[in-house]
Amino acid sequence: MIRPEHSRRTDAVQKAMARREFIRKAARGTTVVALGGAVYYFADDRLTREARAQTRPDGRPRLPPGQRVIEKLRPMGGRQGDPAPGRHRLKVHGAVSTPEVYGFRDLLKMKIVEQSVDVHCVTAWSVLGATFVGVRVRDLAAKAGVKSTARHVIFEAAHGYTANVQIDEALADNVMVAWELDGEPLARPHGAPVRAVVPDLYFWKSPKWLTGIRFVERDEPGYWETRGYHNHADPWTEERYG
């Protein structure tokens, strides 16, 4: 008789293997059948070639290796959280002097920024110039008084999802808590009411349905990191797997 816990582990391994195979296929083709049966269409090769010819201000190519351009952000699944702004709470805590809990209206009273960024999914698609509106994580950190001993940030989301990011990368200018995408409020599949946006790492590091930002002294690998994905997730060095 197969024990339930053994069955769950087997299912998790099979899903991880299927996801890896999807990534390999995505890197090879222009049209891909995604997990769950949804069809993903990449933009024409001309846009991808143009992006590969462009350079970022830091000297890296605009398009990381193995990526192809698509025109709109893909939801990519996940267990959805409560989308109601009136019920949302964002906890900023951990190695800080003044822990805070923000309602959605509290975030709207802070310094709001609008940023156009490129995002890169581990499944080999990239969206260029996605425009997000929200608040910078570094501004939330400053209000909370992050302690000098903090080395990592743990983004916490609905149903216990977490993603770990080194503190210097989490406090970069382009990292934010966002509630608007391309002129519209975030749709529920994209993480409404708020999500993290960490554009210089693979996009699983940008949790949807964000509920907390926790500063820690020791690293804590998150949901995908404990399931075989790379702990850092730099798209330009293709840190897809651990």
Tens-place pLDDT, residues 200-213? 999 999 999 999 99
Contact 150, 94 (CB under 8 A): yes
Give yes or no for residue 38 having a pLDDT over 50.
no
**pLDDT per position as a tens digit, 52-103:** 999 999 999 999 999 999 999 999 999 999 999 999 999 999 999 999 999 9
pLDDT at position 78 is 95
pLDDT at position 187 is 97
Rounded distance, CA 234 to CA 204, Å? 11
Query: What mean pLDDT value characterizes the chain?
Result: 88
Class of domain 64-237: alpha beta
In 3D space, the residue among 36, 136, 155 whose CA is nearest the CA of residue 94 turns out to be 155
pLDDT at position 44 is 63
- Helix H segments across the chain? 4-28, 45-53, 104-108, 137-144, 167-170
What percent of the chain is modeled with pLDDT above 90?
80
Give backbone dihedrals phi and psi of 227, rounded to 5 degrees, phi first.
Answer: -115, 25
Rounded distance, CA 223 to CA 209, Å? 14
Q: Give kind and range of the element (H or E) at residue 159.
A: none
Which residue has better confidence, 195 or 5? 195
Cβ neighbours of residue 15 closer than 8 Å, sequence gap 6 or more: 35
Mean pLDDT is lowest, of 33-37, 90-94, 111-115, 191-195, for 33-37
Q: Can you give the pTM of this predicted structure?
A: 0.84
Pull the structure tokens for residue 40.
Answer: 């993903």
- pLDDT (average), residues 184-198: 98
- pLDDT (average), residues 105-130: 98
Confidence grade of residue 20 (pLDDT, cut at 50, 70, 90):
low
**Would you list the DSSP string of 92-136?**
EEESBSS-EEEEHHHHHTS--EEEEEEEE-TTSEEEEEEEEEEEE
The full set of domain ranges for the chain reads 64-237
pLDDT at position 242 is 86
Confidence grade of residue 45 (pLDDT, cut at 50, 70, 90):
confident
**pLDDT per position as a tens digit, 146-166:** 999 999 999 999 999 999 999
pLDDT at position 13 is 46
pLDDT at position 47 is 87
pLDDT at position 46 is 87
Confidence grade of residue 10 (pLDDT, cut at 50, 70, 90):
very low
In 3D space, the residue among 220, 165, 224, 168 whose CA is nearest the CA of residue 197 turns out to be 165
Contact 36, 77 (CB under 8 A): yes
